[in-house]
Structure 1
Amino acid sequence: MNVAIIPARGGSKRIPHKNIKPFNAKPMIAYAIETAINSQCFDKVIVSTDCEAIANIARQYGAEVPFMRPATLADDFTGTTAVIKHALAEIQKQGWILDYCCCIYATTPLMQASSLINAKHTLLNNPELDYVFSACEFTFPIQRALLQNHDGTVTVFDPVSISKRSQDLPKTYHDAGQFYWGKVSAFSDDSTTVFGPKSQMEVLPSYLVADIDTIDDWQRAEVLYQVLTSQGKI
């Protein structure tokens, strides 16, 4: 059995009620749920939350909420790994036999079903892998980054690379923060890591990646979503 687990706690600080705040007239979490369901990758789409309002909306859009997350796993300091491990343990108590799990973040309105499908195929066709996760290429060479000193002056981050042409520098990537496909055994094993030698990236185009942490991020993502929808790209 393959499951999607969407962590969605109720205590967002920078954007209150972030996971269910209307994004282009639909609750934010609805996009993650609907994309997961439409991908047909999963036997179950589960939302892990400590909030009844989030749970009710999640159910309205087709997800299951078979347990409520304890408050000890819903504070500002608990990492995603602990939340996923708890969710897996809870659903395994119900007798579900799990093979693969995909952690999907709730604030991913630009995520595409095709990306989930491609990442799943990569994971299943490469048994040596533990994880396949969403990533995106940096739009500017990070080797040519600059640092600002306390007095306002500038220090070159990498003196060896600063004078090189962009095309002569290796491409670098960052976590796109959309999804993390993995073996259930890997999620349950503290010795494994998503960003390690047994992982591969599902590289996304930059226009499908939006980190939504502030109101400015949110408004920018809404405009991007509208543009991409008008162009038929999502």
Structure 2
Amino acid sequence: MNIAIIPARGGSKRIPRKNIKLFHGKPMIAYSIDAALKSGCFDKVIVSTDDAEIAEVAKQFGAQVPFIRPDNIADDHATTMDVMHHAIQWCVQQGWNIEAVCCLYATAPFVTPELLTEGYQKLQQDKDIEFTFSAATFSFPIQRAIKLSQQGEVSMFDATKEQVRSQDLDEAYHDAGQFYWGRKDAFLQRKAIFATHSRVVLLPRIRVQDIDTAEDWEFAEALFTLLQQQA
């Protein structure tokens, strides 16, 4: 059995009610639920939430909400791994024979069924692979990053790379913040995701946008419109 678990707590502060705020006419969480259902990868698509309204919206769009998340993992200090560990343990206690699990963020309107399928296929390629997740390249060489002192003085994080040609620098990648496929035991053992036992599903940068501020939200909506026009 494969399951998708969508963490969606109700206490978002920077963008209030972010998980169910309308994004291009649909609650944000609906995009993740829809992609999971259409992928055909999952026997169950579950939303882990502490919030009754989010639970109702999730059910309306086809997800299951078989439990309410406990208060001790519903605050600002709870990690995604805490939420996944609790949800998987609950499923195991029901007697479900789980093989693979996908943590799918509720704020991932650019995720597609095809990307989820690719992530699952990569997980299945080798028994030593514990996780697969979405990633993208940085748009600028991270080796040339600079920092500012409190007085506004400029310095490089790595001054040894100042004169190295861009094409000679290693490509750098970052987590795209959409999904994390993993083996059940890898999640239960809280293994590191960003490690040699993981592989990535590489996304074009146009399909990646963190949504943590009002400015992020506006940019994501504009990007979504552009992608629709290109489809």
Deviations 1:40-95 (A, max 9, x none): 11110000000010000000101000100011110001000010010011112211
Aligned to 1:112: 112
Which amino acid in 2 is paired with 1:153? E
Partners of 2:147 and 2:216 in 1: how far apart?
Answer: 24
- Asked whether 1:229 is paired with 2:195, we answer no
Matched, 1:217 2:216: yes
Q: Which runs of 5+ in 1 are unaligned?
A: none
1:200 aligns with: 199
Give how far 1:112 is off: 1.5
Aligned partners of 2:204, 2:123: CA distance in 1, in Å?
20
With the length of structure 2 as denominator, give the TM-score of the two structures: 0.99
Aligned length: 231
Q: Over residues 192-213 of structure 1, what are the superposed CA-to-partner deviations in whole Å (9 max), with x where a residue is unaligned? A: 2101111111111000001000
Equivalent residue for 1:77? 77
1:99 is aligned to 2:95 = no
Give the secondary-structure state (helix, strand or coil) at the position aligned to 1:160: helix
Runs of 4+ in 1 over 4 A off after TM superposition: none
Structure 1 counterpart of 2:129: 129
Write the letter of the residue equivalent to 2:152.
G
Partner of 2:90: 90
Residue-by-residue CA offset, 1:152-208 (whole Å, 9 max, x unaligned): 110011111111111110000011100000000100003x21011111111110000
Supply the AA of the counterpart residue of 1:118. Answer: E
Checking the alignment, whether the CA contact within 8 Å between 1:66 and 1:91 is kept in structure 2 is no
SS of residue matched to 2:133: strand
Report the aligned-residue RMSD. 0.7
Give the distance between the partners of 2:44 and 2:28, measured in 1 at CA: 20
Cα offsets for 1:106-130 (capped at 9, x unmatched)? 0000112111111111111111110
Q: TM-score scaled by structure 1?
A: 0.97
Q: 1:230 Cα deviation (Å)?
A: 1.2
